[in-house]
Amino acid sequence: RHDDPRGHRLAGLVRRLEDEQRRLSATEAHLEFQASHDALTGLPNRALLTSRLAEEVERATVQGHEIALMFIDLDDFKIVNDTLGHAAGDDLLRVIGKRIQDEMSPGDIVGRVGGDEFVVVSSNLTDRRLATRFAERVLTAVAAPVQIVHQVIEPSVSIGIALRGASSDPQVLLANADLALYKAKDSGRCCARVFDQSLRLAADERVGIE
């Protein structure tokens, strides 16, 4: 019967259970997002990016194509924090993250992995020329003036590039890009450098000397 109160109570109970299930699902999704993304920029964090990098390297190795990994580090970020404050530094990091994203192609991955350090993983940059061209676009995009608090600044980044051809080990690939970033910083900053074995040999020599 349509007017049976037991039917109404059952329908109400089902609706409440469905609402609770939706609420729990939304909470779980929110917690999962928080665990895998940077709270400041909303980009993938180190854990998620490392996992995605491993997947991309494995896929590229099986399919026999190249991928590029880039370390992108904001130049003189400490000066911004020291002179304008950490809130201003946070605003700048959000701007930089968005500008990097805007230069990316579908399927590319960008994450924030440290204080002022971003990493890009791309299967679209299949050789040194394409990777360098992308890095140049990022350098140009990042350098546009931005107003932070009441100050207009012209930010810059240094970029280290590593291609999978140098190694199919994700951790080695990260280390290679980091060495290339060190070279870019050492070359005067606001530039990009591509990893080659001479950088590894120089690093090993420095370690041996120390």
First to last CA, the chain: 87
Which residues are known to be catalytic?
Answer: 116
Instruction: Please provide the size of the chain in residues.
Output: 210
With CA atoms as reference, report the closest residue to 122 among 53, 58, 186. Answer: 53
Report residue 126: phi and psi, to 5°: -95, 0
State the chain's maximal CA–CA distance in angstroms.
Answer: 89
**Cβ distance 57 to 67 under 8 Å?**
yes
